[in-house]
Amino acid sequence: MRSVIVNQVIGDGRFNRFFRYIFIIAILTTITEGFDINVFGLIIPSLMKEWQLTAPQVGMLGSFGMAGMIFGSLLLGPLADKIGKAKGLMVATAIYCIFTIAVGFSTGYNYFATCRFIAGIGLAGAFPIAVAYISEYSPRKIRGRLTVWVTSGMALGTVVAVLVSLWLLSPYGWRMMFYVTAIPLLLLIFQYYLPESMSFLIKKGQNDKIAKILSKANPDFAPSEDDQYQYDAFHSGKVSLASLFKSGLGKNTIIFWAMMFFNYIYIYAVTTWITQMMKMQGYSLASSLTYSLLYNAGFLLGIPVCGELQDKLGGKKVLSFGLIILAILTLIDSRLGPYPVPLGIFLFLTGASQHGLAGVAGSHIAQSYPLTFRGLGTGWGYGIGRFGGVCGPILGGLLLGWQFSASATFMVFACIPLISAIIIFFSTDYTKDSQNR
């Protein structure tokens, strides 16, 4: 009887058609979150005008979706470890799409908030599952880059949202921005054909399916009928919340939660209010949307650069120094309101830093936990972060409600990445050890 370490067989594989399919489906899934994050910020001017809402009211409305995301991250990620990631991903995607479409039929504030809350449950459930998926099914040598790209599908989704808004928002109104989310329902067809997670298949004793998947992931692997499939020591363990605090993982778990909390305050504060802040500085709606597009288009630079740096230097180093750079760039943005061209350039660089570092943060967290409860660790990391996401739109709404200028608001936002940089500095980087197994 031969003992086969499944994570080693997968890690030794080369990037082939099998990995490519998983990567494409995973990144298309995370793109939906990016679309959702930015679509609300883009419709704020239209929504405030039509429903006569104040800035604090809009901030609260934006936070309902984030509240739903907290439940989605905390519940659906761990559930996927138990029922299988493929099934969990399909459930989460269906919930998000159906209730986001329903937002477009809103007749008032409460209806809008309720649909956003339920849609947030599905959306946030899908995101950590997709990240955990690609961190499990990817070649070892490029795992960091692939995971960063999937995590940062959110950035691509924000760009898609801006482009769609430039096309649909003025002629058709804000409701059409939610109707187009019917398109991601097609993902359910392709998610159905994803390979199930190894931990689920091992638990169910489905050796035939395991052998078939390993052969696709690594054609050099020749399965035998008497093979015994298992993980190595690091990637073994039971799925429970207590697992996140055992075997030396407790300190990092607390640090990851705190870092993600502040990261999400920044992300959702900026993405929710950037269009409105540009309008406050005298720019037209079209110009404000263009600046939002430049900020989000920064992912084209940030994701490949940060992904490459993570594979070479490790997630902790990239986050520690990168978050400081993000704070500096945000501070520069606060002084460039009257200068259209420099403002556009630095918003692009700020977006590059934010989106790239968001990808590194998710990738780093996912790879820091064993495969058997990676969905749990990733889900809770994002789930706690969503509390910050609830605070972000409210923070921006309060600042603007207190008559803070756009420049002063940017200066407050600049302080947040510095806090995250200090927090992650005290973590221990175990990812290199786990990747080499």
Give every CB contact of residue 58 below 8 A, 6+ residues apart in sequence: 44, 47, 48, 393, 397
Quick: pLDDT tens for 314-350.
889 999 999 999 999 999 999 988 888 999 999 999 9
SS3 402: coil
Question: Among 73-87, 229-243, 279-293, 379-393, which is the least confidently predicted range?
Answer: 229-243
Report the predicted TM-score, pTM, of the whole model to 2 decimal places.
Answer: 0.72
- Measure the CA–CA gap between 166 and 178, rounded to whole angstroms: 14
* pLDDT band of 436, cuts 50, 70, 90: very low
Q: Please, what are the domains in the chain?
A: 3-435 (1.20.1250.20)
**215-272 pLDDT, tens per residue?**
999 998 888 887 888 766 555 556 667 778 877 788 999 999 999 999 999 998 998 8
SS (H, E, C) 19-78: HHHHHHHHHHHHHHHHHHHHHHHHHHHHHHHHHCCCHHHHHHHHHHHHHHHHHHHHHHHH
183: number of Cβ within 10 Å:
11
**CA gap 203, 153 in Å, rounded:** 31
> In Å, how far are 10, 146, 348, 357, 366 from 313, measured between CA atoms?
23, 16, 24, 14, 17
314's CB contacts (< 8 A; 6+ apart) are 429, 431, 432
Place of tokens 């430049």: 294
